[in-house]
């Protein structure tokens, strides 16, 4: 498999998809690629608008995307894709549409056969076994919590270490601990802003300047940095 799983699309004060663009370019290679873009996580803006926004950035680095929603046969489009790109937004809506369109198995088969898969935020969640470590509000019935299962562990994108000032609710760590109480055999990676996982040739690495917090029931969370060994997650 060849995966690029990005925590977030944009850092504060930067243009859209600016910080990961060079990694995206390296990931897809020097030869121009036209990827199938899955915009289903968009809720408050159109799929066309989302696709245009992503295409603008990809074109800047010599690659292109075409929106999956523009194909008459989405399954066939995925089966013939040079690469698959899944945008962020609301994970529940995204997974709902992937189930409705019967796309999870085609995505899984393509990815396990070497087609590059890239996602950010909700798109990273979809690479996990389940959506249940997303931060998003469950605005719609997803028709099942199962996702593509391209990796055997869970990602919590946009991981935060502390609650905002004045907020009395649970911390992100407490929410992850709740998940682990019910799912004790699973690892969860708290993927902070500005970081991403690259999986290729059976190897996994963290890219970015911030550390990643790894959670497992019965163990103290650990902090790992780029260059550390993450192979136990696979």
Catalytic residues, by residue number, are 121, 136, 158
**Spatial CA neighbour of 216 closest among 179, 191, 188, 182:** 188
Assigned token pair, 45: 């803006």
User: How deeply is 177 buried, as exposed, middle or buried, from its count of CB atoms within 10 A (0-12, 13-18, 19+)?
Assistant: middle
Read off φ and ψ for residue 35, nearest 5 degrees.
Answer: -90, 150
CB-neighbour burial class of residue 211 (10 A; exposed 0-12, middle 13-18, buried 19+)? middle
Distance CA 230, CA 234 (A): 8
Edge-to-edge strand ranges of the sheet holding 34-38: 64-67, 34-38, 84-86, 117-120, 2-6, 196-200, 203-207
Strands (E), 39-192: 64-67, 84-86, 117-120, 154-157, 188-191
């Amino acid at each position: 498999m060849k995966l690029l799983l990005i925590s977030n699309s944009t850092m504060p004060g930067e243009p859209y998809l600016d910080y990961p663009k060079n990694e995206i370019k390296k990931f897809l290679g020097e030869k121009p690629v036209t990827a199938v873009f899955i915009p289903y996580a968009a809720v408050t803006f159109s799929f066309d608008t989302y696709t245009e926004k992503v295409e603008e950035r990809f074109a800047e680095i010599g690659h292109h995307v075409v929106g999956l929603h523009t194909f008459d046969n989405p399954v066939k489009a995925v089966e013939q894709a040079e690469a698959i790109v899944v945008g962020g937004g609301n994970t529940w809506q995204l997974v709902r549409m992937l189930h409705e369109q019967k796309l999870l198995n085609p995505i899984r088969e393509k990815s396990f056969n070497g087609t590059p898969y890239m996602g950010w935020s909700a798109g990273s969640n979809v690479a996990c076994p389940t959506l249940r470590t997303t931060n998003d509000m469950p605005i719609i019935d997803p028709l099942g919590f199962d996702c593509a299962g391209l990796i055997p562990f869970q990602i919590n994108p946009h991981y935060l270490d502390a609650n905002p000032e004045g907020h009395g609710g649970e911390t992100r760590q407490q929410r992850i601990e709740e998940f682990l109480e019910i799912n004790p055999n699973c690892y969860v990676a708290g993927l902070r802003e500005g970081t991403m996982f690259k999986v290729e040739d059976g190897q996994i690495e963290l890219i970015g300047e911030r550390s990643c917090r790894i959670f497992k029931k019965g163990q103290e969370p650990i902090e790992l940095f780029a260059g550390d060994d993450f192979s136990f997650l696979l």
